[in-house]
Amino acid sequence: MTDTFSLLFAVLIFPGGLFVIALGLALKGVERRAIARLQRRIGPPLAQPVFDMIKLMQKRTLIPDTANALVFLAAPLLAVASMAVAAALIPVPGLYAPDPRLGDLIVLFYLITVPAVALMLAGSSSGSPFGAIGFSREMAIMLAYEGPILLAITAVALHAGAEMGQPIALSLSEIVAWQRAHGAFLLDPWMWPAFVTYLTFIPANLGIVPFDIPEAESEILEGPLVEYSGPPLGLMKLASAMKAVVVLGLGVALFFPAGPEGLAGLVLFALKCLGLVLAVAVLKAAVGRMRIDQAVVFYLKWPEALGLCGLALAIWHA
């Protein structure tokens, strides 16, 4: 009974659910503000994403006649739920260790791709040509970035496994524990290619310029989200805010989980996220959007090569 309860608590409140939502919306607010400052504007209040969310929850839900209503409404729920569970898989040193029954690194990797799949479902089920274009773009870019990220994660798992005397380490808790005891992978030059690969994966997965091609609002009107309104749209935006925290959290857990335990560690984690978000803001303010073919070629060329390089290094080093 307590077992079920603690699992539910992990998924719904901390570190999944509420905590991720709060942190994700706060990061989004900071990002919008930072972009405004970079563009010499004042920008919205920091709590703007929260206001937006409350507003969207109040609005009417429209379901187009051409849509498959079931899939159309299920996709946002799927995205949010997958992110809540994914967050519950990331260990918080001193405060929370994920239940091994929830899954390991492989499950986490799959869960992180679910919002992209939900976005594709949303686009294809909405019955709008914009949604369909967004769907095909999301599919293309996802196929391009999944390769490098898988290589990077495998490299970390192999490296950590070799250090721990196993063939491969798939438990994120163990990887984090080992790094906290013996030094973070970020400080290990052997892991740098994998780290850089992970960094390049972040903008594509989070739909950040120059890789926000599937949701390009100025050309295909936010693509898959074009037919959404009200609460489902809010859930979609929520899922993308949560995804930012999960992806950054996974990056921190894989490469740089150093720092104090407990609440102070949590604050440090938020600060690490903040640093990355500020970098993202600079990226957003500085570059324009790529074309889908350019983005796919980019991912299949550089991050893929780097990822392979990182994997080779990890195998050789082992």
Partner 1 sequence: MMAFLKILLDNLRKGPATEAFPFGEAPTPPAYRGKVAFDADTCTGCKMCEHVCAGGAIRFAEDDDGLHFLIWHNTCISCGLCEYYCPTKAITLTNNWHLAHPQSEKYTQIDHGTVAQCRCTECGTAFLPAIPALMDLAYRGQNDRTKALAGMCPDCRRRATLSGARS
Partner 2 sequence: MNFLSKITPRIVAKSPWLYRINAGSCNGCDVELATTACIPRYDVERLGCQYCGSPKHADIVLITGPLTARVKDKMLRLYDEIPDPKVTVAVGVCPISGGVFRESYAIEGPIDRYLPVDVNVPGCPPRPQAIIEGIAQAIAIWRARIGEAA
CB of 212 to partner 2, least distance (A): 12
Least Å from the CB of residue 224 to partner 2: 11
- Please give the Cα distance from 122 to 27 (Å, whole number): 25
234-293: contacts with partner 2 (CB under 8 A): none
Taking the complex as a whole, the smallest distance from the CB of residue 3 to partner 2 amounts, in Å, to: 35
Tell which residue, 108, 90, 307, 313, has the closest CA to residue 200.
307
209 contributes a contact to partner 2 by CB under 8 A: no
Judged by beta carbon, residue 235 or residue 290, the one nearer partner 1 is: 290
Residues 6+ apart with CB under 8 A from 128: 64, 66, 226, 227
| Nearer CB in complex with partner 2: 53/252 | 53
Q: Which residue has the tokens 């996974």?
A: 250
Given 30, 209, 230, 317, the residue binding partner 2 (CB under 8 A): 230
Q: Is 70 in the site for partner 2 (CB under 8 A)?
A: no
Segment near partner 2 (CB under 8 A); pick from 34-42, 150-158, 171-179, 303-311: 34-42
| CA-closest candidate to residue 196, choices 311, 316, 317, 318 | 311
In order of 148, 247, 305, the CA distances from 143 in angstroms are 10, 17, 15
Under DSSP, is residue 182 helix (H, G, I), strand (E, B) or coil?
A: helix
285 contributes a contact to partner 1 by CB under 8 A: yes
Interaction of residue 39 with partner 1, rule CB under 8 A: yes
Cα 23 from chain centre: 13
**Least Å distance between CB 305 and partner 1?**
20
Binding residue (CB under 8 A) for partner 1 from 8, 267, 282, 312: 282
Q: Which does 287 bind (CB under 5 to 8 A by kind): partner 1, partner 2, none?
A: partner 1
Mapped onto helix, strand or coil, the DSSP state of residue 261 is coil
Residue 263 has a CB neighbour count (10 Å cut-off) of: 11
- The answer to whether 247 touches 115, Cβ cutoff 8 Å, is no
Considering only the stretches 36-44, 50-58, 160-168, 246-254, report the one whose residues sit in contact with partner 1 under the rule CB under 8 A.
36-44
Select from 48, 105, 99, 56 the least CA-distant residue to 80: 56
Which positions lie near partner 2, rule CB under 8 A? 32, 36, 39-45, 48, 51-52, 54-55, 58-62, 217-218, 220-222, 225-230, 233
